[in-house]
A and B are shown apart, each in its own frame.
Chain A
Amino acid sequence: MRGKFQWEHAVLLLALVLLTVGTYIGLAVAPPERHMGDVQRIMYVHVPTAWIAMLSLTVAFVAAIGSLWSGKHKWDAAVVGSTETGVVLTGLLLSQGMIWARATWGVWWDWDVRLTTSLVMFILFAGVLALRASVDSAERRASWSAVAIIVAYADVPLVYFCVRWWRSLHQVQSTPETVDAAMMLPLRINAFGMLFLATWFIVRRARLELAQRQVEETTLPERRSVEEVQHA
């Protein structure tokens, strides 16, 4: 394994190039928004973060079904990688949204549909990570976190609909027809950059999980026997 080039590093390199180019165009080339001015430029990182956070958690959901269905370690490793990446991205999404909200709405936080849904999603999946950290048995850790992810993911639409019936401050989604082409370009470049960066994180974390599992399986019996000897 050591010294062997792994494909995800090429993806990371591509991600860094795309994010650098996209951010440069977003900050220096794209025009400022008519009403918000330069503050709107946070969109070039905020919207890609939102898309890729949702995508990561969707990958976690699919991997959780795969983990329960097959019981194979690689699915559980994918669950860990995508859940942790999704939670970090959702945390970043909330932070960026708060900065944008302070500048445009005048408040750091509002109990709006999308903010509330994102916050609940963040806590739901962070809870899954807390559950995972509390379970010693690797098999149980895999099946319980898969069950918790499926339940949490199924809950997100319900959370969305229940808070949607309250008044909303957040704008509706923009489309290519409502956004200037000069703004769409950096948005798309950064979205792909974020996608590749998240892919790198997910794959690296999954590899780490598989390696940890291998270590646990190989060293635990020895430890157990030492403890047994000491106890005796």
Chain B
Amino acid sequence: MSLASRELPSVAATMAPPRSPADTPAGAISGPSWLNNLRAMLAKELLLEWRNLSRLGSVALFGAVTLVLFSFVAPPQAGARRMATAGFLVLALLLSSTLSLSESFRKETHHRALTGLLLVPVAPSAIFIAKAFANFFQLVLLAPVLIPVALVLFSVDLTATSGVSYPLLQLLAVWALASAGLAAPGTLYAAMTSDLRGRDVVLPLLFFPLVVPVLLAAVKATALVLSGDAMGQLGSWNLLLLIFAVVHGTLGTVLFGYAVEES
């Protein structure tokens, strides 16, 4: 309640003059009022993230637990464990992302907060970009927890990799691109499924097959960073991750208005 009372004036202060629905096509991006909307939405999302750090801690703990479980089922040989690290690390990120994504819109459905934002009116595209950025930020913040846990559990020595300069930075870059690829479509689907009866089933059902390119490209890129990139393939996998994030970010920005419009 205190958050709402502190936040709403700042959103209202930046709002555009009320317009008719015909003047505001879903996802429309135009003019300085849209930038003001975006700035207010970003500030709101980051404030919410700051006030819910314990939630992020729970998601990180969940990711770490999945890595521990993966390490139980990984083969005992050191070489085989190292080879499996990339897959397990990206899977831990993917599974953690479903938790943070599904939660990101649940708070917006309480007391119909999202409807209130749309009525201000805030441009749906600004809400989407801010929300996707917040989800991306959350996933990036999992890296300092999950990467060290994986390196320790699967006995990977980053200093021993060949053909990759600054392997830790490269690993973080892959992680960030994969996070962007997961956050962009995940935010759109989370918005659509947050209010559903079977949301816990429907979100992964829609989301997992959609992010197959992210999964494959991130696993391949991570494996190249961890075990050496003699053929210089890392760039092409990173490019695929970037293209995926841009394509789905654009689609989400355009389509989000249709996904949240009131019937």
Give the B-binding residues of A (Cβ under 8 A).
68, 116, 120, 123-124, 126-128, 130-131, 134-135, 137-140, 143-144, 146-148, 150-152, 154-155, 158-159, 161-163, 165-166
Interface residue from B188, B189, B212, B252 paired with A159 (Cβ < 8 Å): B212
Asked if B251 is an interface residue, CB under 8 A from chain A, the answer is yes
When the two chains form their complex, are residues B263 and A137 in contact, meaning their CB atoms are under 8 A apart? Answer: yes
Asked if B158 is an interface residue, CB under 8 A from chain A, the answer is no
Given known pairs A147-B255, A147-B259, the reply for A131 and B192 (CB within 8 Å) is yes
When the two chains form their complex, are residues A158 and B247 in contact, meaning their CB atoms are under 8 A apart? Answer: yes
CB distance from B113 to the nearest CB of A (A): 18
Interface residue from A127, A144, A162, A165 paired with B205 (Cβ < 8 Å): A127
Interface residue from A123, A147, A158, A162 paired with B258 (Cβ < 8 Å): A147
Nearest residue, chain B, Cβ from A131: B202
**Given the complex, which residues of B lie within 8 Å of A159, measured CB to CB?**
212-213
When the two chains form their complex, are residues A155 and B210 in contact, meaning their CB atoms are under 8 A apart? Answer: yes
Q: A130-B198, A134-B198 are in contact. List 12 more A-B contacts (CB 8 A).
A: A68-B258, A126-B205, A143-B259, A143-B263, A144-B259, A150-B251, A152-B210, A155-B248, A158-B243, A161-B213, A162-B212, A162-B213
Asked if B157 is an interface residue, CB under 8 A from chain A, the answer is no
When the two chains form their complex, are residues A127 and B209 in contact, meaning their CB atoms are under 8 A apart? Answer: yes
Nearest residue, chain B, Cβ from A125: B209
Given known pairs A147-B188, A151-B251, the reply for A134 and B197 (CB within 8 Å) is yes
| B contact residues, total (Cβ < 8 Å) | 33
16 contacts between A and B (CB under 8 A): A68-B255, A124-B206, A134-B198, A137-B263, A138-B263, A143-B263, A147-B255, A147-B258, A150-B255, A151-B210, A151-B255, A154-B248, A155-B210, A159-B212, A159-B213, A163-B216
Given known pairs A134-B196, A151-B188, A154-B247, the reply for A139 and B263 (CB within 8 Å) is yes
- B180-214 contacts to A, CB under 8 A, are 185, 188-189, 192-193, 196-199, 201-202, 205-206, 208-210, 212-213
When the two chains form their complex, are residues A135 and B240 in contact, meaning their CB atoms are under 8 A apart? Answer: no
When the two chains form their complex, are residues A148 and B263 in contact, meaning their CB atoms are under 8 A apart? Answer: no
- In Å, the complex CA distance between A124 and B263 comes to 25
- B246-263 contacts to A, CB under 8 A, are 247-248, 251-252, 255, 258-259, 261, 263
**Given the complex, which residues of B lie within 8 Å of A161, measured CB to CB?**
213, 240
- In Å, the complex CA distance between A163 and B198 comes to 31
**Given the complex, which residues of B lie within 8 Å of A162, measured CB to CB?**
212-213, 216-217, 240
When the two chains form their complex, are residues B205 and A130 in contact, meaning their CB atoms are under 8 A apart? Answer: yes
Give the A-binding residues of B (Cβ under 8 A).
185, 188-189, 192-193, 196-199, 201-202, 205-206, 208-210, 212-213, 216-217, 236, 240, 243-244, 247-248, 251-252, 255, 258-259, 261, 263
Contact residues of B: prevailing secondary structure: helix
Interface residue from B197, B206, B216, B244 paired with A127 (Cβ < 8 Å): B206
- In Å, the complex CA distance between A127 and B197 comes to 15
When the two chains form their complex, are residues A120 and B209 in contact, meaning their CB atoms are under 8 A apart? Answer: yes
**Given the complex, which residues of A lie within 8 Å of B263, measured CB to CB?**
137-140, 143
**Given the complex, which residues of A lie within 8 Å of B202, measured CB to CB?**
127, 130-131, 134
Most chain B CB within a 10 A radius of its CB, from A137, A154, A155: A155
CB distance from A154 to the nearest CB of B (A): 6
Most chain B CB within a 10 A radius of its CB, from A68, A128, A130, A147: A147
When the two chains form their complex, are residues B251 and A154 in contact, meaning their CB atoms are under 8 A apart? Answer: yes
CB distance from A149 to the nearest CB of B (A): 11
- In Å, the complex CA distance between A139 and B260 comes to 12
CB distance from A14 to the nearest CB of B (A): 35
**Given the complex, which residues of A lie within 8 Å of B199, measured CB to CB?**
134
- In Å, the complex CA distance between A223 and B255 comes to 33
When the two chains form their complex, are residues A148 and B206 in contact, meaning their CB atoms are under 8 A apart? Answer: yes
Nearest residue, chain B, Cβ from A132: B202
CB distance from B21 to the nearest CB of A (A): 12
3 closest Cβ pairs, A-B complex: A139-B263, A123-B209, A162-B213
